[in-house]
């Protein structure tokens, strides 16, 4: 059996990284001094590493982060925001995902909610969790369109299946009764089997009224499916007079959402 035949078979089995590494070994005289086991181990390591790297790239691409450059290590703790560094460090470990718990990130416009959520999302991808970012207004439009063209279940699954879902602009606008039904169905499917990060300008105490309060039959049911055992990060200024917008801190334009 020739080496080219071996390479062709590796490519046919989609072991392209191993095939490339084998070609490199053929041209490297020093490899002849290594044992078969060591050379084979290097080939397997190359294929394994590249597959993990490609998988991570796919997860990040499919997540469709609003801020794909967001990073936990770049979260600013000195810009006048009161942040619990130890809590953020714990959440970056993604243990909350293994426990099916949620995160609530609240704060004013420009406080860095979306950046922090995307940073947590990046960590989830690094742990190889299927992750999805979406603005709640866009999600509701997507579901409304899907209901009209008969693809509702498929689109609902698109948002209910990810292990981690990031819902930005959560309850920024009061949802209609039909939209409340969509929110209820989504969160009911995700309950106790996945985690969700909610980014909102309103604290949890204001969500009931945003959902219609006593006039809404679904307000309590929706909150009952998300508020228990969730981690809360309320981004508030220590000294409003010295407060800096996260757009300034991270060098983002005014059109970038936070």
Residues 23, 132 share a domain? no
Identify whether 258 is part of a domain: no
Residues 119, 243 share a domain? yes
Residues 68, 167 share a domain? yes
Residues 46, 116 share a domain? no
* Predicted local confidence at residue 4, as pLDDT: 85
* Predicted local confidence at residue 62, as pLDDT: 97
Residues 143, 121 share a domain? yes
* Predicted local confidence at residue 26, as pLDDT: 85
- 75-84 pLDDT tens trace: 988 766 788 9
Number of domains in the chain: 2
Full domain range(s) for residue 185: 64-250
Residues 75, 43 share a domain? no
Identify whether 255 is part of a domain: no
Would you say the C-alpha torsion 177, 179, 183, 184 has a positive or negative sign?
A: positive
- 17-60 pLDDT tens trace: 888 888 888 888 888 888 888 888 888 888 888 999 999 999 99
* Predicted local confidence at residue 256, as pLDDT: 46
* Predicted local confidence at residue 100, as pLDDT: 95
pTM of the model: 0.82
Residues 235, 149 share a domain? yes
Residues 208, 176 share a domain? yes
Q: How many CB atoms lie within 10 A of CB 145?
A: 12
Residues of the chain with pLDDT under 70: 1-2, 79-80, 238-258
> DSSP assignment of 46-71, as one string?
HHHHHHHHHHHHHHHHHHT-SSTT--
Residues 233, 121 share a domain? yes
Residues 183, 105 share a domain? yes
């Amino acid at each position: 059996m020739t080496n080219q035949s071996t390479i062709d078979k590796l490519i046919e089995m989609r072991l392209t990284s191993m095939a490339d590494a084998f070609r490199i070994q053929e041209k490297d005289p020093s490899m002849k001094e290594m044992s078969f086991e060591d050379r084979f181990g290097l080939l397997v390591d190359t294929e394994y590493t590249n597959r993990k790297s490609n998988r991570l790239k796919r997860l990040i691409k499919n997540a469709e982060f609003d801020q794909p450059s967001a990073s936990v290590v770049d979260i600013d703790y000195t810009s006048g925001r009161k942040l619990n560094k130890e809590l953020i460090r714990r959440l970056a470990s993604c243990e909350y995902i293994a426990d099916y718990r949620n995160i609530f990130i609240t704060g004013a416009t420009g406080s860095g909610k979306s950046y922090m959520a995307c940073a947590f999302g990046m960590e989830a991808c690094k742990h190889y969790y299927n992750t999805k970012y979406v603005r709640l207004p866009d999600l509701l439009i997507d579901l409304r369109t899907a209901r009209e063209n008969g693809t509702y279940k498929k689109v609902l699954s698109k948002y209910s299946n990810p292990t981690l879902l990031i819902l930005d602009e959560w309850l920024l606008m009061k949802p209609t009764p039909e939209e409340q039904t969509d929110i209820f169905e989504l969160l009911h499917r995700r309950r106790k089997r996945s985690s969700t990060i909610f980014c909102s300008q309103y604290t949890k105490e204001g969500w009931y009224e945003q959902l219609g309060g006593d006039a809404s039959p679904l307000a309590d049911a929706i909150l009952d499916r998300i508020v228990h055992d969730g981690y809360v990060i309320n981004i508030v200024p220590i000294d409003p007079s010295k407060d800096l917008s996260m757009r300034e801190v991270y060098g983002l334009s005014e059109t970038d959402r936070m």
